[in-house]
């Protein structure tokens, strides 16, 4: 059975559209802008969340500055839904954001909070169970704790709606279909043989 060039082209185009539709999916990471203020401390930056974890979202990256010091990055990754000790043993952490304020402390961060590096040491921002609107910011370096602020305000700005991005497979498929269609049009028709 021989198909005309037009029928082959239409079938290929339909297949390419189906592949693109399957490969295009929303990005799984969500970006939030965060701010920290109170008691002489101020900071801002961005954090990225990923998969759901323990009623919240895993924090996968944390950047910005606090009191003029640049944040070196998130520390410890995700300990798997339970709190863990920081590498220096100075803090417990879980790196989970509760954007709907549904943590045990009814806050954006629970008692584990966010663990990150700053000014050559470890730092932690966490929600305090005594005050749902209060957060603590401590640093640890050179063998000592520094209580930066025990009544800090921490907030995140809800991200804009996710825009679907084409996946790499969709882009490759579209390119291959374009090449195939170009070759199909350049071939002599079957009836000319």
Q: Kindly tell me if the per-residue pLDDT of 27 is higher than 60.
A: no
Residue 154: is it exposed, middle or buried by C-beta count within 10 angstroms (0-12/13-18/19+)? buried
pLDDT tens-digit map of 28-57: 688 999 999 887 889 999 999 998 887 889
What is the model's pLDDT at position 52?
A: 84
Q: Which run of H or of E encompasses 125? A: strand 121-128
Please report the pLDDT score of residue 151 as a whole number: 64
Choose the weakest-confidence range: 29-33, 105-109, 119-123.
Answer: 105-109
Please give the mean pLDDT across all residues of the chain.
76
Q: Is the pLDDT of residue 189 over 90?
A: no
Single pTM value for the model: 0.65
> Does 129 have pLDDT greater than 90?
no
Say which range, 4-18, 31-45, 79-93, 135-149, has the weakest mean pLDDT. Answer: 4-18
Stretch 85-109: mean pLDDT = 81
> What gap in Å lies between CA 23 and CA 164, rounded to an integer?
10
| Residue 162 within a domain | no
The percent of residues in the chain predicted with pLDDT above 70, rounded, is 64
Task: Give the per-residue pLDDT at 61.
Answer: 95
Sequence-distant (6+) residues with CB within 8 A of 14 are none
Task: Please indicate, yes or no, if residue 3 is contained in any of the structural domains.
Answer: no
Within a domain: 173: no
Is residue 125 included in any domain, yes or no? yes
Domain that residue 54 falls in: 30-157
Sole residue written with tokens 């882009």: 171
39 within some domain: yes
- Whether 165 maps to a domain, the answer reads no
* String of DSSP letters for 127-165: EETTEEEEEEEEEEETTEEEEEEEEEEEEEEPPPPP--B
Query: Is 112's pLDDT higher than 60?
Result: yes
- Cα separation values, 130 from 36, 105, 164, Å: 19, 8, 40
31: which strand partners?
Answer: 48
**Structural domain includes residue 186:** no
Strand partners, 76: none
Domain-located, residue 40: yes
**C-alpha closest to that of 91 among 62, 59, 114, 60:** 114
Residues 151-158 have a mean pLDDT of: 81
Q: What is the pLDDT of residue 16?
A: 46
Q: Which of 113-117, 126-130, 144-148, 187-191 has the lowest mean pLDDT?
A: 187-191
Quote the number of domains for the chain.
1
The pLDDT assigned to 49 comes to 92
Q: Which residues contact 155 (CB under 8 A, 6 or more apart)?
A: 34, 35, 108
């Amino acid at each position: 059975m021989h198909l005309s060039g037009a029928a082959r082209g239409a079938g290929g185009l339909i297949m390419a559209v189906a592949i693109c539709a399957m490969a295009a999916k929303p990005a799984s990471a969500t970006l939030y802008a965060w701010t920290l203020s109170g008691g002489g401390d101020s900071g801002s930056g961005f954090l990225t969340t990923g998969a759901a974890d323990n009623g919240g979202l895993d924090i996968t990256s944390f950047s910005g500055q606090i009191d003029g010091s640049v944040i070196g990055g998130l520390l410890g990754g995700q300990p798997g839904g339970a709190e863990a000790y920081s590498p220096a043993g100075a803090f417990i952490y879980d790196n989970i954001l509760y954007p709907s304020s549904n943590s045990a402390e009814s806050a954006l961060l629970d008692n584990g909070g966010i663990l990150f590096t700053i000014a050559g040491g470890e730092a932690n921002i966490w929600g305090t169970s005594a005050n749902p609107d209060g957060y603590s910011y401590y640093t640890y370096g050179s063998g000592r704790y520094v209580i930066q602020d025990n009544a800090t305000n921490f907030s995140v700005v809800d991200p804009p709606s996710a825009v679907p991005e084409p996946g790499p497979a969709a882009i490759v498929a579209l390119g291959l279909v374009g090449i195939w269609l170009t070759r199909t049009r350049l071939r002599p028709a079957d009836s000319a043989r």
